[in-house]
Amino acid sequence: EFDFHPMWESLGMNLADHDMLLGAVGQMYGDMFLTQNNRPKSTSYLDFVATNIHSGRIKEMLDKKEAGEATKIVGSFCVYVPEEIVLACDGIPVGLCSGADWATDKVEEHLPRNTCPLIKSFAGFKLGEVCPYIESSDLVVGENTCDGKKKAYEFFATQKNMYVMDIPNVHDESTLVTWKAEVKKLAAKIEEECGVTITPERLKAAIHAVNGKRRALQRLAATRAADPAPISGLDSLLTVQAAFMDDTPRLTGAINEMAAECEQRVEAGEGVAPKGTKRILYTGTPMAVPNWKLFNLIEKAGGVVVGEESCTGSRYYKDLVDESGETVDEMLDAIAERYFKINCAVFTPNHQRMKDIVQMAKDLHADGIVDVALQFCTLYEMESFAVEKAAEEAGIPFMHITTDYAGEDAGQLQTRIEAFLETI
Ligand code: BJ8
């Protein structure tokens, strides 16, 4: 057994607290994931990711940097930050942990108590020194999306080397122009940080690699339209979460294997839950590692999640970057256009998200929609009324949930979810 403690120590982490966190997450993983029946065999890749997430994967990234195969590690908190640009500079893009409560007392010295748990979480992981992704990041790229994140980054910038992208609030022709300029500013920043000049060859290869990852995720997602569903929502969610952290080629290969096995299972009528199990489309706030609470509740209550209209779901993989560009400028424009299609609730109006939700519910034969907002997330709380209206008009049963990362509401949520599953 390799001892990772010296590595964590060299990153400046709090070893005792981090051991505690790993123990708790390991326990949760066992209780939620390893108790599932009839998982596809290829989900063993997810167990590998979960086991290595704070250890082997971090060592691998640091070793690559040491060997000169990678330039910098670049962390981010939002799917609006284009990973293609980081890859083109031989950087390693990582999504930063923000899915569990940590060091709340310290957090509340800098941020209001009534801040969304995702924001409190990344501040807590930093202040508690328990996230090796945050500690090993040479640069953290934030984005002006919701007010909470925007203001919290002002504090985070006192803790880490940070760069913030400006994201428009409206999708139209003029904001697309500003957004393209913003993407090019990021490219210049990453070039400078990594000491690499982006060439057409580099950017083309990066676009191709990330498109490959997104295609693999699309292929896996498509198998979930079958009844019985070949793979659980929990495992599907973790697959997208892994896509923010693991090595791109390894992950793409593993997801294609999962998709191939799921395609065979669909042919054979084999599922993770019996045919006729109530099917749920999840929509709402993203679920960062290790936030698996709600999917676990839905599936332990006898439902199966068949799709996610969220940033840890379809919004991450539904669109590809057009590969026809030849110059760096054309390719950066194509990247900007692709990212501009992400229907985050920060945009107004956000009609396309409602259309996407209804379309996904139909394509995946969902029996009901569960719309979730993290507590104190004004954006998704406000938008839930529009989601409800769209669901009603499409004749699809709907349920809204507001929750956080703590377990206190689990019993009450379970009762509500069971009741919902019975009525649909
Ligand atoms: S593109 S959804 S990943 S911003 S839950 S922190 S919105 S108060 S995460 Fe997001 Fe990018 Fe949009 Fe997607 Fe704020 Fe709400 Fe908290 Fe949130």
Report the pLDDT value the prediction gives residue 384, as an integer from 0 to 100.
98
Report the pLDDT value the prediction gives residue 107, as an integer from 0 to 100.
98
Residue 186, both tokens: 């990021």
Dihedral sign, CA of 275, 243, 184, 343? Answer: positive
Helices (H) and strands (E) in the chain, counts: 19, 8
Nearest protein Cα to ligand 1, atom 2: 344
Asked if 277 and 232 touch (Cβ cutoff 8 Å), the reply is no
Q: What mean pLDDT comes out for the span 172-178?
A: 98
Q: Which of 256, 233, 179, 214 is nearest to 84 (CA)?
A: 214
Tens-digit pLDDT profile for residues 381-414: 999 999 999 999 999 999 999 999 999 999 999 9
Q: Which atom of ligand 1 is nearest to the CA of 77?
A: 3
97 has a pLDDT exceeding 90: no
Cα–Cα distance list, 414 to 97, 278, 317, 400 (Å): 26, 15, 30, 13
**Ligand 1: centre distance to CA 145 (Å):** 7
1 has a pLDDT exceeding 90: no
Tens-digit pLDDT profile for residues 282-316: 999 999 999 999 999 999 999 999 999 999 999 99
Residue 238, both tokens: 């973790």
**Ligand 1: centre distance to CA 81 (Å):** 12
Q: What mean pLDDT comes out for the span 356-360?
A: 98
Query: For ligand 1, which residues put their CB under 6 angstroms from it?
Result: 78-80, 116, 118-119, 145-146, 148-149, 285-286, 311, 342, 344, 346, 374, 377, 379-380
Q: What mean pLDDT comes out for the span 362-373?
A: 98
> Is the pTM for the entire model greater than 0.90?
yes
Tens-digit pLDDT profile for residues 8-40: 999 999 999 999 999 999 999 999 999 999 999
Tens-digit pLDDT profile for residues 147-158: 999 999 999 999
344, 371, 378, 403, best to mutate for ligand 1 pocket (most atoms within 8 Å of CB): 344
Rounded to whole angstroms, the Cα distance separating 221 from 313 reads 9
105 has a pLDDT exceeding 90: yes
